[in-house]
Every structure is written in C-alpha cells, then in structure tokens.
Amino acid sequence: RNKRILNVCDPVIISDMEVINALKFQFNKRIKIHERSNKIKISPGKPTLLSGAASLDYIYEGIRLIKFKQIDCLVTAPISKHAIAKAGSNFKGHTDLIQKSFNVKNVIMSFFSKEINVSLSTIHVPIKDIVKRTSKALILEQIIILDKELKRYFGLKNPKIAICAINPHASEDGQIGNDDLQITFPAVRLARKKKILAYGPFPSDTLFVSKNRKNYDIIHSIYHDQGLIPFKMLAFDSGVNTTLNLPFVRTSPDHGTAYDIAWQNKANSKSMEEAILLAVNMYQKS
C-alpha cells in the first residue's frame, strides 16, 4: 500500500530521529526527513511531559512548513491530549491549535470514508453545554462552509447536506423540547433560500440507516458522539478526519494513540494511509 502513497506525493516526516533511525530501513529513498534540533527520550506507550512537548513541537513545525509553503498539505498523527496538557498546552487537540495558529474563526471537524461522511457542529463539548453552544446562526454558517468546501475539495457541483436534529424525533413539534424549532429547522430554511441543498433536521437514529444516509453527501451532526459513533462503527479502520475551512488541506487518521500496542508492530496503518491519499486528492482538486 505504501507504493500508492509514493506514487502521488513526496512525504515529509516530522519526527524524532531515534524513531526514524529505528524504522528507516522500511522507507523508500524518496521520503525526506525533516529533523528538529531537540533531542528527547521517549518512553513508548506512555503519555509523558516529554512526549507531549515533542508532539507540540512537531505540530508547530508542520504549521511553520505550511506557512512558508515548504509543504502543500499537513497530515497529523494521533496525539495524547493528556500528554500535551502535561507539557503546558491549553489546547484540546490539533484542531484548536491549528485554528488559532491561522486565526480562522470557524472550522469544521469532518470525517470521510467510502461508507459515510460526517461533520460536527460542536467538537469536544459536554452534553450539558451543547444547546448553549449551538445557534441558528452557527448552524447556517456551518452549512455554508460545508457547501463551499465540498465543492472546492471534492468536486461536488451541488452537495447534499443532511442536518441531524438536536433532540430525539427532531423535537416532535415541540413535545420534546423547542431546540430544533428554534435552531436547526430555521437554519435549514435559511440555507435553502441561499440555494444550498440542506435537508432536515432529521432524527439521527434513522438518518444513519444505510438507505437514508446514502441520499446525502455528508451528515452534519450537532455533537461529537452523535456523528462519530455511527462513523466509527462503519469506518474505524479506514476513516479520515479533516478540518474544513482552513487555508490549506489538513487531514488525520480517525483513531487515537493506541498506547497499548505501541512499538509492537500491531497497528493498522490503513487510516493513516487513507489520510495521506485524501490530503493529496483534496489538494489536487482545490
């Protein structure tokens, strides 16, 4: 599978040289190694202050390379939020950090696979705060961004965007809360007035059923688990995370650090490979 990657791009790996030296016999000569000056000792399979600092260092270096146009896309590997917090970071993950670095007001975390495409309105927000963090204006803006980015990066002429309801049964005409009546329904109506093919809101328990989800190019979920439980059930090993509305292409595999199998040659690389291939494809279409 690595040949698929090397046929379409020249990867630039930002990592620790001790790791690279241990694995470089597997690399094709076309791969470039961009070495950082810091020398640190990493304990495989453990989130530490040093590993968190290294993760942050690699991310900032990737951002620098993007800003100086030395690379075209950024594909990030999983990081430990616990480790980067130990290293003093206030960011919850890649997305927040990258968004801040490029001063972008609104980005959308989205997930793509052959089986299903999902985007999130809110990301790492507790359930009790979801409605407070959601508004008609926000959902409308996100629909507009999705329409723009799906056209830009995926070549869709008129993307079909399905919106998940906030409450069960899309609030059942106000019988199960008024949130959808006040937020998602009006947002969809306003999007349609802008000639955007937005649909819903739909109850998520039926929207994700195969015959329903296949009618749309992407499903916009209101909160993290609403969208990611079905996505990961269908595409855990092959799904790709991408951040939309950045001034460049950024993708990532759709899984975590898997510390329990670190350095045991058990990891499935398919999601990372798909993340690289999707980044190239998005870049070429933009």
pLDDT digits (tens, 9 = 90+) for 112-158: 999 999 999 999 899 999 999 999 999 999 999 999 999 999 999 99
**Greater model confidence, 5 or 201:** 201
Mean pLDDT for the stretch of residues 49-68: 91
Name the band, by pLDDT with cuts 50, 70 and 90, for residue 55. Answer: confident
281: closest CA among 161, 157, 152?
152
CATH number of 105-243: 3.40.718.10
The answer to whether 5 and 276 are in contact (CB under 8 A) is yes
> 147-161, 225-239, 247-261: which range is least confident on average?
247-261
The pTM of the full predicted model, rounded to 2 decimals, is 0.89
Per-residue pLDDT at 182:
97
**68: pLDDT strictly greater than 90:** yes
Name the band, by pLDDT with cuts 50, 70 and 90, for residue 37. Answer: low
CB atoms within 10 A of CB 196: 19
The answer to whether 50 and 65 are in contact (CB under 8 A) is no
Q: Please list the residue range(s) of the chain that carry CATH number 3.40.718.10.
A: 1-104+246-286, 105-243
Mean pLDDT for the stretch of residues 88-108: 89
Give the right CATH number for 1-104+246-286 from 3.40.50.300, 3.40.718.10, 3.40.50.720, 3.90.180.10.
3.40.718.10
CA distance 169 to 246: 34
Per-residue pLDDT at 15:
83
Per-residue pLDDT at 40:
63
Indicate the SS3 state at residue 248. Answer: coil
pLDDT in tens, 11-36: 888 887 776 776 666 655 555 666 65
For residue 250, count CB atoms less than 10 angstroms from its CB and return exposed for 0-12, middle for 13-18, buried for 19 or more. buried
